[in-house]
Amino acid sequence: MKRNPSTATPNQLSEQLAATGFRSTQQRQRVYDVLMEKRDHPTAEEVFLRAKQAMPDISMATVYNCLDALVKTGVVRQVKIERGAARFCPNMHEHWHFHCTGCGGVFDMDQPDNACDAFPLPKGFKIDQFEIAAHGLCPACSSARNK
Ligand SMILES: [Zn+2]
Ligand SMILES: [Zn+2]
């Protein structure tokens, strides 16, 4: 079985939470599972609606709290696309995002190796991290438009 280092099993998740000083709770586990189940970069509100299906008692405030803990622990990242609500992504590999202007979907794109070299930076500048989103149409929206 191929192991993906960016995904945490329940035990790893509680270890990682503990390492950052957070308790592992059922709610945090559930919120993390929601993000892993469907990697479509949901907003906090979408996470809340999905988490509720298996955990009807969970509140929006708890979901915010869980997302915050997961982001601080470093197992989930927050993605901002333009002015929209923050979205959440459990893919911790370096990657970029593709935002579909047709359906509003957000998809992962691999960050090319040596991406830093491809940017015409002014002399002396150094990139630490990218926050890149491309905007366009996903295959479904682009074929719908061509009909
Ligand atoms: Zn689309
Ligand atoms: Zn992503």
Domains of the chain in start order, with CATH, are: 10-89 (1.10.10.10), 95-145 (3.30.1490.190)
Q: What is the pLDDT of residues 28-79, one digit of tens each?
A: 999 999 999 999 999 999 999 999 999 999 999 999 999 999 999 999 999 9
* pLDDT mean across residues, the chain: 90
Output the CA 105–ligand 1 centroid distance in Å: 6
Which pLDDT value is given to residue 12? Answer: 87
Q: Compute how many other C-beta atoms are within 10 angstroms of the C-beta atom of residue 103.
A: 12
Output the CA 68–ligand 1 centroid distance in Å: 28
Which pLDDT value is given to residue 147? Answer: 78
pLDDT above 50 for 121: yes
Output the CA 25–ligand 2 centroid distance in Å: 24
Q: What is the pLDDT of residues 89-104, one digit of tens each?
A: 999 998 999 999 999 9
Distance separating alpha carbons of residues 68 and 146, to the nearest angstrom = 41
pLDDT band at 129 (very low <50, low <70, confident <90, very high): confident
- Each residue of 37-59: b (16+ CB within 10 Å) or e? eeeebbebebbbebbbeeeeebe
Q: Please report which ligand is nearest the Cα atom of 111.
A: 2
pLDDT above 70 for 109: yes
Output the CA 31–ligand 1 centroid distance in Å: 25
Number of H helices, E strands in the chain: 5, 5
Output the CA 44–ligand 1 centroid distance in Å: 20
